Structures are given as C-alpha cells and as structure tokens.
Amino acid sequence: MKRRTVDAAGPLRAAQDQLVQAVCALGAVLVASFAMLRLIPGDPARRIGGANVTPEQVEQIRANLGLDQSMLGQFRDYVLGLATGNLGTSFSTHQPVATIIAERLPKTLELAGAAFLLAIGLGIPLGLMLGVVTRDGLRPRIAAVFTGGTSLIHSIPDYLLAALLVLVLAVLVPIFPVAGAAGAGAVVLPAIAIAAGAGAVLARVTRIETLNVLTADYVRAARAKNLSSARLYLRHVLPNVLTAALTISGLILTSLVGGTVVVESVFAWPGLGTELVQAISQRDYPVVQAIVLLLGVSVVVVNTLVDVLVATLDPRSAASGK
C-alpha cells in the first residue's frame, strides 16, 4: 500500500518541481529581456535626436524616455509596468507596445503553427515508417540514406535554407511569392524553412524510438499471439513511440521560436521576428523587452506543459528524472 502511495505521488511531485523550475526560468527571462539590449553599445537618445543633436538635447531626450535613471530604477519601473499590464511605448513610433504586439503576433502564430504542423506531420510518420522498414538491421542502405539525409537537412541554417527556397521556388521557378504575407501560398516557403530541420530531428528520434519499441518484450509477446500488423503497430507500438515523440515535439516547438525570428526577416514576414530585428537596430528598448519576454515566456510555458504532460502519461519519466 505504501509503495502505491509513493508511485501515485510521483507525477504530482514532478509537476511541482517543473513549476518551481518554470518560475525560476521566468525570472531569468524577465531580467534578460531588460538587460540584453542595454548591454549593447549605443544610445537611443542620440539615435532619436539625429546627427546634429546637442548634448543638452540628448539629456532632455533621455529624461523624456526615462533613461536618466539608474539601471535599478529603470528595472523597477519595467517590473511595475508589467505588473499593471503596461508594456511601455515605442521609442521610434510612439505607439503602445501592446498595440504593436497585437498587430504582429497573429502572423507569427500563423507561421509557427504551420511550421509545427508540417514538422510533426512529416517527422513522426516518416520516422515510424523508417523504423518499421529498417528493423532488425533490414535495408541498411535505406537506413544510411535516411540518416545522412536528415543530418544534412538539420545542419543547414534556417536562413540559408530560406534563401535557397526563395532562389529555387520563387525566382527560378516562380511558384510561391518571394516575400510578404499576401495570399495563402506566402506561408509555404517560410514554414518549410523553419520546419525542415526540426522535422528531420523528429524523424530520426521517432525512428530510433520505434526500433527500441519493436525489440521490447511486450511487442515480442504480441507478435507471438499472431496479431495483425495493423493492431500490433497501432495498439502496441504507436502509443509508446508517441510518448517520446511528444517530448521532442515540445522541444521542437520551442526551437521554432528562434527559427521564426530569423526566417521572418528573410521573407519580410510581418510578424514579431521582423519587428524585433528592426527594434534592435533602432535601440527601441520597450519593443525589444516586450517581444523577448513574450518569446521567452512561451518557451518556458511550452516546456513546462510538455514535461508535466509526459510525467502524467508516463510516471516512469518522473521517477527517472530524480
């Protein structure tokens, strides 16, 4: 009876540990979103004032922007603003940062969602199929081609793959738009550029997990019962493979955040990534802070939810994580 109590409490304790780690990570993201741009040389006041600005005018602009305070004072105002839902006002456009994010966020979610669905929609079935085809050392050439091909795709940087896709499928063979977000086809090339590397990793992990599951004792026992192939793979193999794929999918979703920022700039996609690059070049502190914080929080939340879900579905993972 005592052992049952411990085992049942395992997922709950794992979830509590994950929540504590998430809170610490959110604190680190909060500090990083405030400090990262301020550590880079450059004065927003001089940039706003222009080439002929006088020192007195620079000081006046700094005072108007609240940059005449100490770093601790600026951080205090930043945290208090977040607590009241105030993300600040853009130094460059004088728009509320919340308005900028509200305009840009839907396009980023559209692109990230399309890339995620593409990555898991191709990665999991491909890895599962290759695991079945190459089990027990069968078809080594196919396994070698698959391993080499996925390694090559994963090694290509997102921005380089994006440029190649534009050259081939938008310039040489004008099937898709070169840039922008006009029309349904505009999302195809940036989604492929973001999803390719992640899908390759997911396919390799799914194949390895499939090979491991196929050699498990319960699968051997199921084979001995002369179960049909469909029932064997759908009932005994697929659920166990999906547990590992779920964990990797969460990591992939968080990795798509960074890829989206880079690829949006290549395709001039009107999302948060493009806005972030522009804000960094203009030393627009409030916009950079808000976007970095939003992206960081999304990464932490997704990772935490995936860890809690995996620990709930498979208590063994909670025990092994101790």
Q: Return d(Cα 25, Cα 20) in angstroms, integer.
A: 9
| Of 249 and 99, more confident | 99
Amino acid, res. 296: G
Specify the pLDDT at position 5: 45
| Of 41 and 91, more confident | 91
Strand partners, 96: 89
Specify the pLDDT at position 314: 59
Share of the chain above pLDDT 90, in %: 25
At 63, list the tokens.
């005072």
Specify the pLDDT at position 97: 94
What average pLDDT does this structure show over 172-198?
A: 88
Specify the pLDDT at position 2: 43
Contact 152, 158 (CB under 8 A): no
Strand partners, 240: none
What average pLDDT does this structure show over 194-220?
A: 85
Total residue count of the chain as it appears in this document: 322
Instruction: Tell me the pLDDT band of 118, cut-offs 50, 70 and 90.
Output: very high
pTM score = 0.80
Which one, of 2, 46, 83, 30, lies nearest residue 289 by Cα?
30
What is the tens place of the pLDDT at every residue in 208-263? 888 888 887 777 776 767 766 667 777 767 777 777 777 777 777 777 777 788 89
Task: Say whether pLDDT at 290 is over 90.
Answer: yes
Fold of 2-320: MetI-like fold (1.10.3720)
What is the tens place of the pLDDT at every residue in 3-49? 444 454 555 676 677 778 888 888 898 898 898 888 887 788 888 88
What average pLDDT does this structure show over 105-117?
A: 90
Q: Return d(Cα 252, Cα 210) in angstroms, integer.
A: 19
What is the tens place of the pLDDT at every residue in 308-317? 766 666 555 5
What average pLDDT does this structure show over 76-92?
A: 91
Specify the pLDDT at position 146: 93
Instruction: Tell me the pLDDT band of 106, cut-offs 50, 70 and 90.
Output: very high
Specify the pLDDT at position 12: 64
Residue with tokens 């049952």: 4
Contact 261, 277 (CB under 8 A): yes
Contact 90, 103 (CB under 8 A): no
Q: CB count, 10 Å around CB of 308?
A: 20
Amino acid, res. 272: L
**Angle at alpha carbon of residue 165, lines to 163 and 168, rounded to 5°:** 110
- Distance in Å from the first CA to the final CA of the chain: 22
Backbone angles phi, psi at 314, to 5 degrees: -130, 90
Instruction: Tell me the pLDDT band of 89, cut-offs 50, 70 and 90.
Output: very high
| Of 261 and 104, more confident | 104
Instruction: Tell me the angle at which helices 158-166 and 238-266 cross, rounded to the nearest 10 degrees.
Output: 70
Specify the pLDDT at position 299: 82
> Per residue in 118-150, is it b (16+ CB within 10 Å) or e — as a string?
bbbebbbebbbebbbebbeeeeeeebeebeeeb
What average pLDDT does this structure show over 84-99?
A: 91
What average pLDDT does this structure show over 144-161?
A: 91
Question: How confident is the prediction for the chain on average, in pLDDT?
Answer: 83
Specify the pLDDT at position 99: 94
Specify the pLDDT at position 95: 93
Q: SS3 sequence, the chain? A: CHHHHHHHHHHHHHHHHHHHHHHHHHHHHHHHHHHCCCCCCCCHHHHHHCCCCCHHHHHHHHHHHCCCCCHHHHHHHHHHHHHCCCCCECCCCCCEHHHHHHHHHHHHHHHHHHHHHHHHHHHHHHHHHHHHHCHHHCCHHHHHHHHHHHHHHHHCCHHHHHHHHHHHHHHHCCCCCCCCCCCHHHHHHHHHHHHHHHHHHHHHHHHHHHHHHHCCHHHHHHHHCCCCHHHHHHHHHHHHHHHHHHHHHHHHHHHHHHHHHHHHHHCCCCCHHHHHHHHHHCCCHHHHHHHHHHHHHHHHHHHHHHHHHHHHHCHHHHHHCC
